[in-house]
Amino acid sequence: MTEETKFQHEFFDTSGVDNFKIKNVGKPPEGYPKVVIPDSYTDSPFAPTYEERKMVFLNHCLNNPSGTHIKGFYYELVRLHMNKGPIHQSLLQGVLDYVNDRYDCSDFVLLGIVRILYQFFDSELLDLQIKTNIEQTILDFKYHPEEPGIDSMCYWTENHQIMFATNAYLAGQMFPDKVFTNSGQTGEEKMKRSKPRIIKWLEMRFQTGFSEWLSHVYYDEDITALLNLVDFCGDLEIADLSAMILDLMFFDMAVNSRKGVFGCSHGRSYAEEKRNALVEATIDTQKLLFGTGIFTGSDNMGAVVLALSENYQLPKVIFDIATDDQTSENRQRMGIKVKEAAKWGLSFSDRESGMAFLSLEAYTHPACINLIMTLFDDFRWWQNQFFQDFAKNRKLIQSFRKLGLLPLLAKLLEKDLTRNTREEVNLYTYKTRDYLLSSAQDYRKGYGGDQQHIWQATLGPKAVCFTTHPGHKENTSAGYWVGSGNLPRVGQYKNVLIASYRISKMPGLYMTNQLFFTHAWFPKSEFDQVKEVSGWVFGRKGEGYIALTSCNKMSWQTEGEDKDKEILTEGLKNTWICELGNKEDNESFDAFVKSIVSAQLAFKGESVIYHSPSRGKIRFGWKGPLKVNGKAVSIKNYPRYDNPYCQADFAANEVKIQLEEQHLILDLKNRMKTVSSNVT
């Protein structure tokens, strides 16, 4: 192939993995599962051992047809593993065609193809033609934007970077002496190029966590890539580090989830996932690992690969933490600040650093915008449809580049232009047996938002509450339920949260706000009781209680699909208050309602003083500290972890996790893991 080869397809702003379909899948073979047999949600461990849970999951996959979205075919890997056909060969060919045509998210798909190559290639269930086509697809693929070809795949976000690098390394390892047709590189050269990228990614995740923090969407992709490295990578440094990052990811899920629901703040999320945990991309994995959740198959490949993994074992201490129903607080910091690039071995002048900044989606950050535009030139991204908005303004951008004024322009328009950027975040989660409340504390207030999910209260898989400022009507980035037109300033102390909003009417170069109100998701039908008293909305789910109010008058949506689920408040400025309780702390639901309604509450400008019945006098607003009973509470500069199970400094080289006699010690410097026992 030549550099001029173009792969241009219909482009859309995705709202989830179901948007990406495999074409021409053909008719399933005789004897193939015809109907979906749904699983059911469980809020307590449904089987005592991992092996039992794994067999239930594998049989669930075996008895269900593969979906036709890009993750659906992973069920075919289970049929290969169990040696129980028939295999949907035409679906597998459709999957290969998808990758050959270089559709976006081909790297998701290729992870499964690579696993077939390593783990199931000798299976008699695969016909010879499919095996031949698998090899050719792997040899023909484009593994990095530096390689020839013009397409609209996303190479740069945090999850895509580890997937592309993993696929490149393992493809090269399988075919070290062969020449890959697109790049002209040998497999050995691919390994050599990919290893430092993988190591850097793994080290950064260990020390600083994820820019796509706690994502119930993108952790699934990361898990799948890392399991491939654990199972198949011959380089022990890479394999061992990958296992350590998996441990940290599952620990993240354990301390920020409730009963299988990853119902916390997320660096990236979509509308349906945040409103309905039963379709989260990680809930299958939670049910497999921890016993709570549901096997959905709607957006999950991580659980399948985990069940097929021959080398990864979950440390028992993480399982024990996930199933520990004691009240807990978790503080953790993730991400980096672009201005502190040198601290992380990054510069504003080389390609690899540019890719690191793009893992934060810092396309237009004033400090690195010149470098990113150089990548646009080098990688032919002006023709990548992800960047069509940049292409429309290319003449303006080039003019400012020539004058040396591009960083100044970016600085002037920073709150609009950097809405995608995910820099350092301080996360707080308060969890009891009856509810979970989680937030990104004081995160980029007033900036434009994208897919960041700033706070959420979780009482059940669908009994959730959160607020946003919707930038526009569509459920796409920064849209109605996805992200934010403008991000709020949030302060949380234990079970009480305050969210302050200030909406901009300034026109933007990237996006101009079209809607000028804030709203809350509060689905009445998902709660066992809902009451409205004295300007508060109350809900009960089981023995968990929630109270929500707003400075501005609240009204229910009375029509459309959000009827009785959405609470609307007019005004460019607004403050929301949310408090949670339960039977254990508040006795009856009526007693909880009475205590909240009787509490003193005073809004003054953009701040509020709220005398919480459970926590005392709380003061917070658009400016100033979060004060509880007159004392400032820290909402920034958190450690890497600070919770009952782990205390680790930010950027620490060692993380020790412990619950009673079970422990896990991860040593980054020496690439060592010490564990008391694993889940069996």
Mean local confidence (pLDDT), 67-73: 93
pLDDT at 258: 98
**SS3 assignment, position 326:** coil
pLDDT at 8: 78
pLDDT at 5: 76
Cα–Cα dist 670/320, whole Å: 26
Burial 93-107 (b: 16+ CB within 10 A, else e): bbbbbbbeebbbbbb
pTM, two decimal places: 0.97
pLDDT at 80: 98
Largest CA distance in the chain: 75
pLDDT tens digits for 95-135?
999 999 999 999 999 999 999 999 999 999 999 999 999 99
> Would the pLDDT of 2 be above 60?
no
Question: How many residues does the structure list for the chain?
Answer: 680
pLDDT at 649: 98
pLDDT tens digits for 291-321?
999 999 878 999 999 999 999 999 999 999 9
pLDDT tens digits for 535-544?
999 999 999 9
Residues contacting 253, CB < 8 A, separation 6+: 219, 262, 282, 285, 286, 322
> Would the pLDDT of 403 be above 60?
yes
- Residue 627, φ and ψ in degrees, nearest 5: -115, 135
Burial (Cβ within 10 Å: 0-12, 13-18, ≥19) of residue 651: middle
> Would the pLDDT of 324 be above 50?
yes
Mean pLDDT of the chain: 96
Q: In this structure, are residues 109 and 137 in contact, taking their beta carbons and an 8 Å threshold?
A: no
> Would the pLDDT of 15 be above 80?
no
pLDDT at 4: 60
Cα–Cα dist 303/288, whole Å: 7
> Would the pLDDT of 1 be above 50?
no
